[in-house]
A and B are shown apart, each in its own frame.
Chain A
């Protein structure tokens, strides 16, 4: 259990929100992003604020420090910061209402970073690219405390050591671009900790990171909290992360807090139906879909229809004029893979592992540097896609379709939903105008969208609905294979199962085979029969999903699986973390 230094028995409230309300003033009237939120933060405890996108959790956290972007405005409530008797505050207690302070005043600037520090989601943009790491961390110290440059540098070194940045002596003089995403987030944490804040607000600090790095950052935040007596407000949408780190939970929805409570209570006995649904959709994802297993009983998996035979893809390789050779970047290295008829194949890997490139190569969106892609069409004829030209690919492209990751950039904003779905049919030129319209109506129904969507533009739809449109476009020309590249990553967790179920439903009706590319093991486990694990352009392990998940053979797969947070606070800390690095493998 946590050790509270001063008052080991009682919970010390350090930050208290009372009826906090933040509104965005628009032409159509005020939009309540945060609606009457009351919360308490206790010293040495972590409060996880959970909610789906648009639930107002980020705006809420920004309202505390009054850094909401206009037209957002805190319109009511209190945010009370209780300063307790510590050595630093000079032995007297006081309570400050942060919302009474002028957002531009010196008083609130003194509090920002010193009493309440913040970490943001995007480590790539929250550090200044033109200043050294040490200067940026040191600046935070020097702004709030009268220390000399030398002293600040020493403290910075110590902080970098504390956040486990290797070789702090060298790192202090490096620039952010020399750091990886995880290292930058560590530097951000160091900056946030520089003045020993009483409250740390972390706004989705691990969302942009790979799971293995996420696990390390979570470990770090917890260990720092154990040493100090800091209260942490951790904002996330990931129930796995919540189970890993929370002491208390506040569930937010539509700007309101619907449920608060102890982490064990909420996970075991959620009261609000929304919390129950949220937990259900997470737990559902942790197991293979029963629907899929039932389907495989009646419909056995057939022969391989898409085979990747030692496919390699090198970007940027060229022979320079004066004979100097540019070796380029090998994104995919001799990938061997086969998709059988009627099965779902998952490709899992972290960012930069080459999984997306492999997917695009299989479809021949990219040219292939080396290797063969053997596609067997419905007449049983085998063709090598690797050598075809774009004109010859027209037919294979009708058989192999894509669902894109980003539901916002994959639909042309200037076309109506009807036009977007009809496009492959129009180009094919087999159907007449009215026939195409009927077919589009049929497709809309298949993916669970109202027929009225036909005349609307993409901007009228939410992310989940857009993804359905994308699926409708994919199945329009009666394809046989669908490559879904992170098709659910941009969606909230409750929508993920919906979309995956829709895909399974379509598989049953239309006899499809899927390749699902994802970084999320849970999604793959739910949806895929077989799995291929990619690491740095190579497929390191393939096999049945359950076999691989329960008994991973390759060291990288082991580390990946051990880093995935489990949505159950009871198993917290029981799992043995395996760390994988290539150098340790070589020696």
Chain B
């Protein structure tokens, strides 16, 4: 004890990480994961879009316009050149006019270079109530003249703006994942926790139930359950019913993760030490075991959300999930089911692209979180 051990001269000087808490280490490890950071930013953006859908969408997503049926996407231009060759900053699109072939009655759109539709930031447009509370009129970007329209992502068979509809779809699709996962998290935490902590017969029973649920073919179950929903339910009630149905199947994965962590932690010496310190069962679980599990649980939750989003999309695509007037990506994709849309209006698949982006970003984020969840497993030289 009296002899002070010598210090390794190569040792890198004491780092501030010595004082860093677990969460700080996780954050440091996560930040190193470029793909996951990108995913996190995209997901954050998507939720912001969902939150402020009314403001961000240029038009009312349900406003139809018979003169704009299957209107193709337009390019936005920011620099306006006048006849003399001068220029000014004023965003605009070049208008398109509908022409009908007199013989086949086929409609087609042609650019009309003389007519420009001018756009304006924070201009007044279709009135709306933000979150059903604040009556507002301003949109992030809309036409100067409320009677004109522009279609960055094209229009559907009723002349509704696909951009506005996709933005509104973000709200429902992204939130259904979040709400559904929180429901299954509650189920998974309770059942997985009981299963892992008590072990023995309780564990045996719960695990067999989990296996039973997993063995059920999901698509027919979803189909059956959602077909059983009364048709006269309000769209909101239907929305919640669908979330419950989705999470009834999805909790099993989380229950297994929680149980696995519990079993792994139960044999750790520090948990035994906490028991011997005289901690009650509650204290051992919540003070000592839970903090070690939270990061892992967050990671698996993040990986469960995309599964939910895909499930909602597939159900709605089949016409059994959400139905209009609720707008979700799946509902929008249902419009793109037929051959005509593929050949004539491929822009109807834009919501599909949104699904791909959201799911990929969530998966990257979840992978990054999972890797970062255990900062000690990595090489920290």
Contacts and interface: CB of A to CB of B under 8 A. Distances in A.
Interface residues of A, number: 48
A494 B5 contact: yes
A455 B18 CA distance: 9
A456 interface: yes
B292 A414 contact: yes
Contact of A401 (B268, B276, B279, B381): B276
A402 interface: yes
Given A394-B278, A423-B279, A427-B277, A26 B269 contact: no
Contact of A409 (B12, B20, B270, B277): B270
A460 B11 CA distance: 12
A413 B1 CA distance: 26
A170 interface: no
Nearest to A453: B18
A28 B15 CA distance: 10
A527 to B, nearest CB: 15
Interface string B198-217: 00000000000000000000
A505 B273 contact: no
Interface in B1-60: 1, 3, 5, 8-10, 12, 14-15, 17-22, 25
A502 B275 CA distance: 25
A473 B275 CA distance: 13
B19 A398 contact: no
A405 B272 CA distance: 12
A365 B272 contact: yes
A412 B274 contact: yes
B9 A410 contact: no
Contacts of B25: 459
Contacts of B124: none
Contact of A397 (B10, B17, B278, B291): B278
Contacts of B268: 409
Contacts of B5: 464, 494-495, 498
A418 to B, nearest CB: 12
A365 B19 contact: no
B273 A473 contact: yes
A580 interface: no
Contacts of B278: 394, 397-398, 424, 427-428, 477
A179 interface: no
B269 to A, nearest CB: 4
A255 interface: yes
A580 B277 CA distance: 41
A526 interface: no
Contacts of B8: 54, 254
Contact of B1 (A32, A477, A502): A502
Contacts of A29: 12
Contact of B381 (A24, A397, A477): A24
A120 interface: no
A328 B60 CA distance: 72
Contact of B20 (A31, A457, A464, A498): A457
Contacts of B232: none
A404 interface: yes
Interface in A491-511: 494-495, 498, 501-502, 505
Interface string A239-279: 00000000000000011000000000000000000000000
Interface residues of B, number: 35
Contacts of A411: 270
Given A365-B276, A397-B276, A424-B278, A412 B292 contact: yes
Contacts of A428: 278
B138 interface: no
A299 B280 CA distance: 37
B10 A255 contact: yes
A71 interface: yes
A406 interface: yes
B22 A414 contact: yes
B199 to A, nearest CB: 14
B9 A456 contact: no
B275 A365 contact: yes
A46 interface: no
Interface in A413-463: 413-415, 423-424, 427-428, 448, 455-457, 459-460
A494 B279 CA distance: 35
B1 A410 contact: no
A258 B268 CA distance: 39
A497 to B, nearest CB: 9
Contacts of B266: none
B381 A413 contact: no
B1 A254 contact: no
Contacts of A254: 8-10
B292 A413 contact: yes
B121 interface: no
A508 to B, nearest CB: 13
Nearest to B273: A410
B283 interface: yes
Interface string B233-264: 00000000000000000000000000000000
A32 B268 CA distance: 33
A363 interface: yes
Contacts of A448: 1
Contact of A32 (B10, B14, B15): B10
Contacts of B376: 413, 459
Given A409-B270, A460-B18, A427 B275 contact: no
Nearest to A409: B269
Contacts of A415: 288
B292 A505 contact: no
Most buried by A among B20, B279, B280, B381: B381
A238 to B, nearest CB: 19
B201 to A, nearest CB: 12
A410 B288 CA distance: 12
Nearest to B270: A412
Contacts of A71: 379, 381
A263 to B, nearest CB: 25
B273 to A, nearest CB: 6
B278 to A, nearest CB: 4
21 contacts: A26-B381, A32-B10, A35-B10, A254-B8, A390-B275, A398-B278, A404-B272, A405-B269, A409-B269, A410-B269, A410-B273, A412-B274, A413-B376, A414-B292, A423-B277, A427-B283, A457-B18, A459-B18, A459-B25, A460-B17, A498-B1
Interface of A: 24, 26, 28-29, 31-32, 35, 54, 71, 254-255, 363, 365, 390, 394, 397-398, 401-402, 404-406, 409-415, 423-424, 427-428, 448, 455-457, 459-460, 464, 473, 477, 494-495, 498, 501-502, 505
Given A397-B277, A412-B274, A501-B1, 10 more contacts: A31-B381, A54-B8, A71-B379, A71-B381, A254-B10, A402-B276, A414-B292, A427-B278, A457-B22, A498-B3
List of 3 A-B pairs having minimum Cβ-Cβ separation, nearest first: A460-B18, A410-B269, A424-B277
